[in-house]
Amino acid sequence: MKFTFKTIFASALALAAVACTKPAIDELSGMYAAPSEVALANATATVETEQNGDFTYLTVKIGNAFDVKFASKKYYLVPTTYYLNPENGIKAGMYLEGASKVNGKAITFGSINVDATALDEDETKFQYHIYSTVETGDNERAKFDWNGVIEFEKPKKVGADYIFVDTLGDAVDAQGTVTPGAVKHNIVLYQGTEKAGGLELITAAGADIAGHYDVMSYANVPGKAGNGFYMDLSAYGMGIISGGSYLMVEGQFVAVEEGQSIDVTIDPSTGFYTVKTSNGFEYTMDQYVETLSMTMTNNPSSVTDEANNPVSGFDRWDVQLSKDGAVVAAFDLVVASGSDIAGVYNVAGYPHADHIAGNGWGIAAWNYFGGSRFADGANWVYINPGSQITVTLNDDGSYTFTGIGASLQSSVDGSQPYTGNFKFKGLAQ
């Protein structure tokens, strides 16, 4: 989205305020001495960013003569007229007294005008016009007028737009006939505790939800999605019935309709899904996972190479996640001594290097299992070499263990490797 914003009117008001409120150099003529020029021609600009609650500090330096700390309501320098902050505080649309200078002298009075035009759709690169006449003490004035480009780094989004809960069910047609080998994913989107939308996706049994879906009513085969529906039956004492694929937009139910499409992709670095619909929705969602009880046991002496020779300088953590006393998932993680376990691990046999995870293994006949694995009913699923495990430390002190496109294999004798995803969350009790 491109925009241009002018501050001419605001500038006129600001200059009028200066003329009316500041004493003149010559009381007989009422005229100021000519301002000194701030040499900014052909100078390039740099910016330093500091987040501060509801606004962002942007210290803009142009050449060696302009050094001003703005408070902007966005991550880039918003076009407007900026005023020197009063003694009682700072807010967006101001610049900081004591931290703003021109020609090496602190600005003591005056506004600064900023015009801008976005040069890209991502709003990271702008053409600016920054200009004004300000006071720098002892009734000295300085005038500047600069045109140039400033680039900003767009903040990376933390977390997904929605958390979702996925409930599996049978895929049935309009007559209620179940489709063998197909599963319906009844997905509910939440923002906080509020229900914010839904998806009804049909996949093959055991398949991930990432993929392309054509929207139809009574979706019942893989690659199809159920359309959104909304019926107000309050007059009949049945309330509102809604579901399928939809999104709540400013409190309004907006359906993904029959004949439209839905594309779902997954980010292997975060496990977040991105949903794009042909009627214009695009959002990210992260699957809700229950927080399990976590224990961590360090066995540094067990770090050995393929020849069973001890390797020093590493910790080896046996991480176990449990529910109601039963182990649900376990991870065999090697890190440099004293390091936190957060990071990305490559899965291999004989883990003996930093951020290597031991693959899952076991002897089912003896009920003896180890390495990185997770439960699937009464069986285990091994995480095979070649996979990656991403361990994330969350704000509440819990850890999330995610694998996208991992090589997995059931502990059942004769099972074959397959590709799949997993996600677990644990908190030390």
Whether the full predicted model's pTM is greater than 0.85, yes or no, is: no
Neighbours of 7 (CB within 10 A): 22
pLDDT at residue 17 in the model = 39
- Tokens 């004493």 correspond to 23
Q: What is the pLDDT of residues 149-198, one digit of tens each?
A: 999 988 776 678 999 999 999 999 999 999 999 999 999 999 988 999 99
At residue 312's C-alpha, the angle toward residues 310 and 317, to 5°, is 90
CB of 187 within 8 A of CB of 200? Answer: yes
Domain ranges of the chain: 4-151, 162-287, 291-428
DSSP, res 157: P
pLDDT at residue 30 in the model = 53
Distant-in-sequence, close-in-space partners of 400: CB < 8 Å, separation ≥ 6: 271, 289, 390, 391, 392, 394, 423, 424, 425
What phi, psi does 354 have (nearest 5°)? Answer: -60, 130
The residue count for the chain: 429
Tokens representing residue 55 in the block: 């606004």
pLDDT at residue 362 in the model = 93
pLDDT at residue 32 in the model = 60
Low-confidence ranges of the chain (pLDDT < 50): 1-24, 26-29
